Chain A
Amino acid sequence: MPGADSQGPRIVVTGIGAVTPVGEGRQRVWEALLAGESGIAPVESFDTGAYNVHLGGEVRGFDPARHLRTVDPARLGRASQMACAAARMALADAGLEGLEGEDGADPGRRGVAMGTTSGEPREVERFNDSYVAERLGDVDPRFIALYPCHTIAASVAAEVGFAGANAMLPTACAAGNYAVAHACDLLRSGRADVMLAGGADSFSRITYTGFARLGAIAPERCQPFDLERKGMIPGEGAAVLVLEPLEAARRRGAVIYAEVAGYGLSCDAHHMTGAHPEGDGARRAMEQALAESGLEAGDVDYVSAHGTGTPTNDRLETIAFHRVFGDQARRVPVSSIKSMLGHTMGAASAIEAAVCSLAVSEGRIPPTINFEQPDPDCDLDVVANEARELPVRVAMNNAYAFGGNNASVIFRGVEA
């Protein structure tokens, strides 16, 4: 944002962990996304017989016990399980596994920032099952320990032994970006030395019902920016990034994926579930992120779009994009991995932040699959169906949410 003057140290991404509908772990998820694999399938976690849509991006075969070492998975909701697993993978990827206290580091200087849309909705679904059966006596005494969304960040910190700042940011479908942004601020201001930042959400009948009632769910496939796009598809997952100051990462010889150059947050103050008709909030978030990063729109080599695949989102997102990028708007490669994963809610922009970091470090851009006919209202350079190889010096990650919460985060390459 213009005027932001407390820059502090440069912050970099040194570890990535993820649990997604196309697999687990940085390498597996990245390869699947580059290959254009789809994680969309008929919903298995509840009966969709009463709905007129049936597809979802569920995580199949996830076994938290394979990842968790401290916390008993049976004491966690599903989003917390996926978040803890992603955190473990991210720490291992960063070469910081097993550091809890063993390397002499102060766990009080290590913190967690996580985002979510719904927290642990399955816990409140169980509560409601008891309620409608008029058996409130069956409500689990652990309901109040399992349901509140901040248990996700707390569970991650408990799993990895981080005793520093602990923040849960439930800013809905932009929450992963909010968490990354907040973690950067904590590192820049010297409140922490290492932050785990990401997002998590579990598949739930509540979320599915809600989007179904909004008429937002696509019946057959998710086709962001395509002329015939018919909607989003709910998904689930988690992603966690390890963030630390550049100098510390260099000192310990860490692999650096990307630098978090800057971010912008804004609010539409317009509508709870619909974007501003002129893309006002989205524009301001992008402009702030560029200004804080000291970059011009023309410097951006890749944009990971919010790109849900609903007719309205993609059209209004394009309007905002044109307002920021001007005559460059048709030149910048854009993709939406939601075409493959569905919309993983609070995890979405965290997974997309991982994708931006990897795009910067590897010079490859995952595609938007199911893209067949360009939409004149979405006149962008959509990376269609096949991954693209090109140097990516700067990647912008855009996320928009219920409540009019907008967040853009910019990643850039770090000189060797």
Chain B
Amino acid sequence: MSRPDSTGGRGRRPVVVTGAGVVSPLADSPAELFAALCRGEGALGPVEGFSVAELSSDGGSEGNGSGPIPDLAAELRGFDPKAYLGKKNFRPLDRTGRLATVAADLALADSGWDAEARRQREVGLVLGTMFGSVHTISAFDRRALTAGPNYAKPMDFANSVINAAAGQTAIWHDLRGVNTTLSGGTTAGLQALGYAADLVAGGRAGAVLAGGADELCLESFLGFGRAGWLAGTGYGTGNGTGNGGGAAEPRPVPLDARRNGFVPGEGAGLLMLETAEGAEARGARVLARVLGYGSTFDPSRGADDASAVSAVARAAALALEEAGLDAADVDCLSLSASGSRDGDSREARGLAVVFGDRLAELPAMAIKAHLGESLGASGAYQALAALGVFAEGRLPGVRGLEATDDGLTVPSLDSAERPVAARTCLATALDFDGGAVALVLAAPATAEVASGGA
């Protein structure tokens, strides 16, 4: 049984979620995204934005030959910011900036922070992103290389900084409060939510949009592929996240016995975090509470299996401690698992340290099965899925799951959706480079639901 009225520890101000916005390969609203996840829809398909065949066949020195990279990604197709923001000048924004700006627009509308409210009060933005845009910085550099430095585009340079998307979003929506970009690889989205919750809980900010954004681009795609981390590309050196066994049929299924790497995704998701007091004062609907956050690091950066497992366990334990919850109070899990051989296993074993034998009965979702590894956006997607569970009382299945690893204690997983009564959710994220982050979310307290408007 969860403790429905816990507000988190250490005398912090209670933090609530009052709205959300998302642009993902499956849907562009949190409710539609959750419905798609529950229906078992997947976004994985051939890449339209660039030619994977050309990437794989481009020359190189003898012995450096790139093996084939499967033409598979979770791509957001046909994304057009005009559909959301009207016919405006989008030229100053690159793709990551547009994704973040649209997600912010949707989240501001969903939470009721209109332009007048934002003029009167500062709203902050904390954006998690792994790359900002490695494509924009590359386009800028390549133009200088091929045409000469005097022909590089100043507008691209403005967007080459990793905080460009957060800056552009702030300009578009007049967000004058705290504006922070966090890069923690695949933990960046959950880190941003935890960082923002701390700002709100500590009284430093009243309302902060938090989440993450990353784009699919040829630079990161090729980088992941060359490292052997993508599903079916296990020929590379990598950090032990690929299958190490040579090219194979891609099987990016979280925690599946035959998983062999992840598939890259993209998109943006932002949640509006506010003090419970502020939300109540303005009659805002409350979607969830943010109860606790934990952030740790594996100093071996994946080289030492026990150290990597410990980082996950410590992050989860810290988040629960701050939330004032016992392991037994957690009703479901929102996993980082992506199809990575070692990453998925380490996350499960880290959670087993915290939950013990109960882990096998704890319902879990692993939405990277549907959405791929969306880097900075992943944590936002994981949090949004938890909000869906609270609202609808059902849990998405793990798309494509056949059999989990023998000998690995995993949470309760199913390939299909199922009903679940969950008031609390622990979301975890494990990065390629040693970072681990956990966030505890809870359903609104009963009184908050009753007082909610909209």
Partners in one complex: yes
Q: Which residues of A contact B (CB under 8 A)?
A: 1, 3-6, 50-51, 107-108, 111-112, 116-119, 121, 124-125, 127-132, 134-145, 147-151, 154, 157-158, 161-172, 178, 182, 185, 189-191, 205-206, 209-214, 265-273, 280-281, 284, 401-405
Contacts of B2-46 to chain A: CB distance below 8 A: 10-12
Of B232-240, B339-347, B386-394, the segment with at least 4 beta carbons within 8 Å of chain A is B232-240
- 16 contacts across the A-B interface (CB closer than 8 A): A118-B137, A119-B162, A119-B183, A124-B141, A136-B66, A138-B64, A140-B226, A149-B162, A158-B434, A167-B191, A206-B140, A209-B149, A268-B170, A269-B173, A272-B171, A405-B167
- Chain B residues positioned under 8 Å from A281 (CB to CB): 176
The CA of A161 and the CA of B188, in the complex, are separated in Å by 21
Across-interface contacts of A211 in B (CB, < 8 A): 157
Residue of A121, A154, A165, A171 near B301 (CB, 8 A) is A154
A331 to B222, CA, bound (A): 56
Contacts of B435 in A (CB 8 A): 150, 154, 166
Residues on the A chain within 8 Å of B66, using CB: 136-137, 139
Count of CB-CB pairs between chains A and B under 8 Å = 291
A269 / chain B contacts, CB cutoff of 8 Å: 170-171, 173-176, 179
The answer to whether A171 and B181 have CB atoms under 8 Å apart is yes
Contacts of B152 in A (CB 8 A): 209-210, 213
- Whether A267 pairs with B297 at a CB distance below 8 angstroms is no
B283 at the interface (CB under 8 A from A): no
Q: Is the CB of A138 within 8 A of B61?
A: yes
Q: Is B145 an interface residue (CB 8 A)?
A: yes
Residue B404 CB within 8 A of the other chain: no
With A144-B220, A265-B180 as known contacts, state yes or no: A137 contacts B60, CB within 8 Å: yes
Closest Cβ neighbor of A172 among chain B residues: B161
Contacts of B130 in A (CB 8 A): 148, 150
Contact A165 B433 (CB under 8 A): no
- Whether the pair A168, B226 counts as a contact (CB closer than 8 A) is no
Q: Is B432 engaged at the interface, CB distance under 8 Å to the other chain?
A: yes
CB < 8 Å neighbour of A150 from B59, B150, B184, B205:
B184
Complex Cα distance, B131 from A185, in Å, reads 25
Complex: how many Å from CA A68 to CA B175? 41
Contact B223 A214 (CB under 8 A): no
| B146–chain A nearest beta-carbon distance, Å | 6
| B176-A268 in contact (CB<8A) | yes
Chain B residues with CB below 8 A from A4, complex form: 202-204
- B183 near A141: Cβ-Cβ < 8 Å: no
Contact bitstring B180-205, A, C-beta under 8 A = 1, else 0: 11111100100100010010011111
Q: Which residues B142-171 have CB closer than 8 A to chain A?
A: 142, 144-146, 148-150, 152-154, 157-164, 166-168, 170-171
Residue in A132, A162, A265 whose CB lies within 8 Å of B142: A132
Assuming the A-B contacts A172-B161, A267-B167, A403-B163, are A166 and B184 also in contact, with contact meaning beta carbons closer than 8 angstroms in the complex? Answer: yes
Structural contact, A178 and B59, CB atoms closer than 8 A: no
Across the interface, do A50 and B55 meet the contact criterion of CB distance under 8 Å? Answer: no
Contact B141 A128 (CB under 8 A): yes
Which of chain B's residues have a CB closer than 8 A to the CB of A50?
Answer: 148-150
B372 located at the interface, meaning its Cβ lies under 8 Å from any Cβ of chain A in the complex? no
A272 touches B167 (CB 8 A): yes
Q: Quick one: which of B64, B179, B433 contacts A404, CB cutoff 8 A?
A: B179
Q: Tell me the complex Cα distance, A127–B135, Å.
A: 11
